[in-house]
Amino acid sequence: MNAYATPLPSPPRDAFIELCQRYDGLLADGAPALEDTARTDLRAFARLFDMGMEDASEADVWVAVRRRLEADLAPALQGAAEWVYEEQKQAA
C-alpha cells in the first residue's frame, strides 16, 4: 500500500442512514405526518427514479425509494472504507 493512500469517507452510506432515520417512521403504525418539506423531498425521489407513484401513500413511496436506494448503493452500504491513491481522488 502506498503511503499516500487514504480512506474515502462514505457519504452515500451516511446520507442513506439519514434518509432512513427521517422516513422509516412512516412504516410504523400511527406514524406522524411528514412536514411539507420532507413530503416534497420524498416525492421528488420517486420522480427522480421515474417511479410514477403520485397517488401512492407516503409509506409506499418510501418503501419503493428505499429499495431503489439500497440497490443503487449496495457497494457503498457494505461498510468498509474504500482505499484509493491521492491521484485517483484528484482525478474524480
Locate 14 and state its grid cell.
Answer: 451516511
Global pTM reads 0.67
Determine whether 23 is exposed, middle or buried from the number of CB atoms within 10 Å of its CB (0-12, 13-18, 19+): buried
CB 49 within 8 A of CB 41: no
56: left (phi over 0), alpha (psi -120 to 50) or beta: beta
For 37-69, what is each residue's pLDDT tens digit? 999 999 999 999 999 888 999 999 999 999 999
